[in-house]
Amino acid sequence: MHMLAMGPIGIRLYARILTAEASRPDELADHVVDEINCYLPRASSEEQVMLFQLACETHELLGDAFERVDDLAVRRQVIDLLSNVIQPVRALPPAEG
């Protein structure tokens, strides 16, 4: 699970995705983005880049992939989808500067 390997924010996102009261993808995406925004002030610069990209893509990704997100199996698919977005960003070398 790439999301859980992110540390505290990954755990928070994982829990929020599984427990958020949402039935439509846009509602769940709002929860994910809200969790990211709450964590951003504490994030390292590398985390901020990754989380900003995730926040920008979440609504579109969930809207394109799912009609409803009120089933636990679908929530696990959401986690897998977002983890796949996170993995390539985590693999990038740290920005110099």
Report pLDDT digits (tens) over 56-95: 999 999 999 999 999 999 999 999 999 888 765 544 444 4
CA distance 88 to 97: 21
The residue assigned the tokens 């920005």 is 95
- Position 25 pLDDT exceeds 80: yes
Other residues' Cβ atoms within 10 Å of the Cβ of residue 35:
20
CA–centroid distance for 28 within its chain:
10
- pTM, to two decimals: 0.85
